Amino acid sequence: MSVAVTTFWWVRHAPVKAMMPGRIYGQRDLGCNLKDVDRLKALADQLPTEAVWVTSTLSRTKKTAKAIAEQQKTPIKTLAYKELMEQNFGLWQSKTWDDLEEEGEAEAFWVDPANLTPPDGESFALMCKRVQKCVTHLHKKYAGQHIICVAHAGTIRAALAQALDLSPEQALRFKIDTLSLSRIQHFVQDGRADSWAIDGINF
């Protein structure tokens, strides 16, 4: 009986430069701080040397992937997917949550953070759908391979929701640190429904 095991190595990008607590970055294309060489080296040591490398289309994921690969001394070619971008917070991007509190916009959001859509943006629930569609594409196209995905906290939460069959509301409970690693496996076995396994989250 044949089994195809596809392993997703999810890495959250390096911290945004001059990161401010409470600032909403979303899909803004900002630079990242790659000075933590020890952490980059630790990630490189854990990742497979033969893998498909995937990022979002935002530069902080591409730069993080390149920095990790340099520590691994492995030449890579990354595949960038817009579907793996962070949640689009629309007109809220660049503001802080304190700004929204003062404007009265955050109250409704905190009542239902998974389903409320920021002005000109998207809800986390909608984001989960686009991310999960992309993950399905990846495990079908690269079945049986290692896929290193350098992405965003929201993206990784969406991938975990897919693997664990969680609602968007439940997925928001995961804390995903910058330069952390989460490993998920997808299984295809003859005569059985597809299945998932979680090897580790945020380590």
| pLDDT at site 17 | 87
State how far the Cα of 28 lies from the Cα of 103, in Å rounded to an integer.
Answer: 21
When pLDDT is averaged across residues 21-46 and rounded to a whole number, the result is 95
Q: At what angle do helices 37-46 and 59-72 cross, to 10 degrees?
A: 70
User: What confidence category does residue 158 fall into, taking pLDDT thresholds of 50, 70 and 90?
Assistant: very high
Q: What is the largest CA-CA distance in the chain?
A: 60
| pLDDT at site 104 | 76
Among 123-127, 149-153, 188-192, 199-203, name the one with the lowest average pLDDT. Answer: 188-192
State how far the Cα of 173 lies from the Cα of 185, in Å rounded to an integer.
Answer: 21
With 90 as the cut, is the pLDDT of residue 44 above it? yes
State how far the Cα of 34 lies from the Cα of 49, in Å rounded to an integer.
Answer: 21
Q: Going by DSSP bridges, is the β-strand pair 181-189/3-12 parallel, antiparallel, or unpaired?
A: antiparallel
CB-based contact 146:51 (threshold 8 Å) = yes
With 70 as the cut, is the pLDDT of residue 180 above it? yes
The pTM of this model reads: 0.96
CB-based contact 9:47 (threshold 8 Å) = yes
CB-based contact 22:160 (threshold 8 Å) = no
What would the pLDDT profile of 102-115 be if each residue is shown by its tens digit?
877 778 888 999 99
CB-based contact 74:146 (threshold 8 Å) = no
With 80 as the cut, is the pLDDT of residue 18 above it? no
Say if domain 3-200 classifies as CATH 3.40.1160.10: no
User: What confidence category does residue 2 fall into, taking pLDDT thresholds of 50, 70 and 90?
Assistant: confident
| pLDDT at site 102 | 82
With 70 as the cut, is the pLDDT of residue 130 above it? yes
Q: What is the mean pLDDT of the chain?
A: 95
What would the pLDDT profile of 45-93 be if each residue is shown by its tens digit?
999 999 999 999 999 999 999 999 999 998 899 999 999 999 999 999 9
CB-based contact 116:90 (threshold 8 Å) = no
| pLDDT at site 1 | 61
